[in-house]
Amino acid sequence: LQLTATKGGRRVVREKGTYTILRELHRWEREPDPSSPSWAKVLIGDEPALGLENLLEVKVPEEVEERLRRLDREEEERWRRERAAA
């Protein structure tokens, strides 16, 4: 995931076909990492605007961070319920 933080890192990850491997790993895993969809969006999405190329340096407002954390928790709980029902 750290490699996708910079423009150069994203380029290398794309060139090496890593997305395909990680996508298949995510499908295969019994307990996939909830962050998997996030890195997938980073790899297949458009490059960030000028000045935002390093995603580790982007300032995210506190309320947005909290909302994202809440959504992650909800997604993880939904995944656990689906797994328990299966």
Torsion of CA 53, 56, 61, 62, to 10 degrees: 170
86 residues of the chain, pLDDT tens digit each: 677 778 888 888 888 888 788 778 777 777 666 666 666 666 666 677 777 777 777 788 899 889 988 988 888 888 888 888 87
Q: How many alpha carbons lie under 13 Å from residue 21 in its C-beta half-sphere? A: 6
pTM check: above 0.85: no
Hey, where are the domains in the chain?
A: 2-85
